[in-house]
Amino acid sequence: MAIVYLEKEKLFWIDTKHTSYVLGIVDEEQFVSHVYYGKKIRRQDISYLTRTGEKPYVPSKNNRERSAFLDTLPMEYAGNGLGDYRESSISVRTKDGHEGVAVAFEAYDIKKGKPRLKGLPATFCSEEDMQGSGGEETCMTLTLHCRDNVLGLSIDLLYSAFEEEDVITRSVIVRNTGENAVFLTKVFSASLDLDNQDFEMVTLHGSWGRERQVECREIGYGKQSVGSFRGESSHQEHPFVALKEKHAGEDAGDVYAMHFIYSGNFLAQAERTQHNMIRLTMGIHPQNFCWKLNPAEEFVAPEAVLTYSSAGMGQITRNLHDMYRNHLIRGEYRDKKRPVLINNWEATYFNFNTEKLLEIAKSASELGIEMLVMDDGWFGHRNDDNSSLGDWQVNEEKITGGLKHLVDEVNNLGMKFGIWFEPEMVSPDSKLYRDHPEWALRIPGREPALSRNQYALDFGRGDVREYVYGCMARILRSANIEYVKWDMNRQLSDLGSAFYSPECQGEISHRYVLGLYEVQERLTREFPHLLLENCSGGGARFDPGMLYYSPQIWCSDDTDAIERLKIQEGTAMIYPLSTIGAHVSDCPNHTVGRNTPFETRGIVALSGTFGYELDVTKLSEEERMMIPGQIKKYHRYHDLIRRGDYYRIASYSSNHEYDCYIVVSKDKREALMTFVQVLGMPNCRSRRICLKGLNPEYNYQIEGRDETYGGDALMSCGILIENQPGDFKGQIFYLLAQ
């Protein structure tokens, strides 16, 4: 069994294929202590790691030093205000204004399978298990039932073990079993106390157009964090953090990672304590958060994903890729080839009509493109970004003949049809806002902040969600629409709701996200064949929570191939390539103005969902003729890219000269290596590149070369790639075992 309780030692032992996670019950007061997380070891008594035999001892033996004990014990889930001065995992305010809370073990259960988290996206054992038809054998769940008897709170700590993926997920459910309401001011999803191994902290930062840039920094004493209280996971920071040994790299060294399955405010923090320990915490950001928990009610915290590798950051990548492909992404397109689409946004912006769209579709269909996506500007009286959000009715002055006519004409060309929505927003210049100004988030007496001349709707309100869903569903039922791009082009501010009482205003941000999840769940259930792609001003909501509803997310509005090398490196570090929305766009690039060869643009976009973001009717004949070949490569390599193991060979972000990565099939019989020369090297004949992930016993042939190479030689000796004159040159190398 993956999870057992060693009763004599009072240890809970969680095993995956290569790791062990151990926690224990300490002293008569039943403190829950973290004992060990790391390489898999034999089950034995390792309770000495809690240091409870050292001074100041446990409270039952030395209560005069209770605070010193609480401030040093490696805690599994730390209470607040009672003597542990490190970052707490939970905090509560009572009706009397008190904030102390304790977490004491009471009972446990170990079960096959995994419970759902009410109202939240979460991992599952198998998609069959989601439907109640089996699949429980792929994971197990430990629930520690804990209590604070003074407050009348039940605190359940949930741990699920995914053996094959070397992943442990954690969540928390808090129930009020008392007679009075309490206010939750913090409920983190996971906490992990580790002895410092000269760790560095790896995070992903950015902004619009440069999302998920990898940063590695030393962990000093005190607290270092990344977070968002923008109402979404954000362009600026990402709900991911890793601790790695200072000299750990892609292929060696200890790394611990934590990732948050949530699409709203978050805090991920590493605290280095006075005793040179690290407390790693993750959960909903406590800023602007206060949840009223009435008697008999429960609060469910989102899920955190934990994984450990002794083989460097690369193995963390492959663990998370497998985890999300197998246990988070759902639906028809999880294991299905996505259509090659063309989006009209950068081709036309708001300046289009039926005739122009059909012109693009006709030209695209002749080249093998499989879907036309109509972006912003088809509804209300929207000819720029100053009006009409919320008025989700077709503008038949632009879409002459109506939407069904357009869709039918596109279908007659042999293409699918997709459409853009921004359902969470409202323009001041809209019928919806004139009819329901109270549906927008705003603080009474204050002028609310506009962004892109729009307000955010109060998605925590049921009437708002019902209106939005009704509008979307009517559009989708009216024609054969097979794809939706769901966008969000501003972040939340002015967190005031006309719907909630004064004491519940601190719930707005989380209720907003729960409302978002409810609508997307409803959408995917009514339209199970719909391909949903999430987007937020590019990649501001590229997070695991969104992957539960959409198998792909638009990676960034910056489609420049060279900038995308950096953006897609950070994204692919934790997300499967099949989730990364990547398109070939026009040049000079609309964001950075760079000219990049059309071939290179295609090669970079191949490491993603693949599509086009341009006016195909205005391409040169040379570029047009490259498109069928690019699409052929996509279809040929799609299964390998979608399911294969990803290895980072070289980082343009680090070396500033070239980028290189390889995807290897699970059986190691085929591989696809991508190499992009960003800067040409003067007086350099070739670069030697050592491959990764191959079977050293196999012999491989590289397509286009006559020679056969041993897998061991390819990985240890490498191959030579000729230096090409000029910059921005991309190449792919396909390897097949002989």
Task: Identify whether residues 518 and 534 lie together within a single domain.
Answer: yes
Domain boundary among 603, 628, 643: 643
Average pLDDT over residues 498-502: 96
Q: Which residues contact 380 (CB under 8 A, 6 or more apart)?
A: 387, 388, 389, 390, 391, 392, 393, 395, 430, 431
Going through 163-221 in order, the beta strands assigned E by DSSP cover 167-176, 182-195, 199-205, 213-218
* 384 within a domain of the structure (yes/no): no
Task: Identify whether residues 217 and 232 lie together within a single domain.
Answer: yes
Report how far residue 467's alpha carbon sits from residue 424's, in angstroms, rounded to the nearest whole number.
11
In angstroms, the Cα distances linking 238 to 180, 210, 309, 541, 619 are 37, 12, 21, 9, 36
Report how far residue 34's alpha carbon sits from residue 39's, in angstroms, rounded to the nearest whole number.
15
* Tokens matching residue 489: 């082009």
Helix axes 462-478, 508-526, angle to 10 degrees: 30
* 468 within a domain of the structure (yes/no): yes
Residue 435 has pLDDT above 60, yes or no: yes
Task: Identify whether residues 272 and 315 lie together within a single domain.
Answer: yes
Residue keyed to tokens 């299964």: 639
Task: Identify whether residues 454 and 350 lie together within a single domain.
Answer: yes
Could you tell me the pLDDT band of residue 130, with boundaries at 50, 70 and 90?
low
Q: What are the tens digits of pLDDT across the range 135-181?
A: 567 899 999 999 999 999 999 999 999 999 999 999 999 999 999 99
Average pLDDT over residues 200-212: 98
What is the average pLDDT value for the chain, to the nearest integer?
Answer: 96
**What was the pLDDT predicted at 683?**
77
* Closest by CA position to 578, among listed 607, 549, 555, 611: 607
* 628 within a domain of the structure (yes/no): yes
Q: What are the tens digits of pLDDT across the range 374-402?
A: 999 999 999 999 999 999 999 999 999 99
| Structural domain total, the chain | 3
**What was the pLDDT predicted at 133?**
39
Task: Identify whether residues 545 and 625 lie together within a single domain.
Answer: yes
Task: Identify whether residues 659 and 629 lie together within a single domain.
Answer: no
* 333 within a domain of the structure (yes/no): no
541 contacts 553 by C-beta, under 8 angstroms: yes
* Residue 695, domain CATH: 2.60.40.1180
Task: Identify whether residues 300 and 420 lie together within a single domain.
Answer: no
**What was the pLDDT predicted at 496?**
97
Domain boundary among 608, 643, 678: 643
Active-site residues, by number, are 487, 557
* 325 within a domain of the structure (yes/no): no
Percent of residues, the chain, with pLDDT higher than 70: 99
Task: Identify whether residues 670 and 524 lie together within a single domain.
Answer: no
Task: Identify whether residues 98 and 127 lie together within a single domain.
Answer: yes
Average pLDDT over residues 477-499: 97
* Residue 559, domain CATH: 3.20.20.70
Task: Identify whether residues 301 and 169 lie together within a single domain.
Answer: yes
Average pLDDT over residues 13-37: 98
Domain boundary among 610, 628, 643: 643
**What was the pLDDT predicted at 682?**
80
* 328 within a domain of the structure (yes/no): no
* 336 within a domain of the structure (yes/no): no
**What was the pLDDT predicted at 727?**
86
Residue keyed to tokens 């928990």: 293
Structural domain including 731 reads 649-737
* 507 within a domain of the structure (yes/no): yes
Task: Identify whether residues 629 and 654 lie together within a single domain.
Answer: no
**What was the pLDDT predicted at 680?**
84
**What was the pLDDT predicted at 128?**
67
Task: Identify whether residues 70 and 206 lie together within a single domain.
Answer: yes
Q: What are the tens digits of pLDDT across the range 622-678?
A: 999 999 999 999 999 999 999 999 999 999 999 999 999 999 999 999 999 999 999
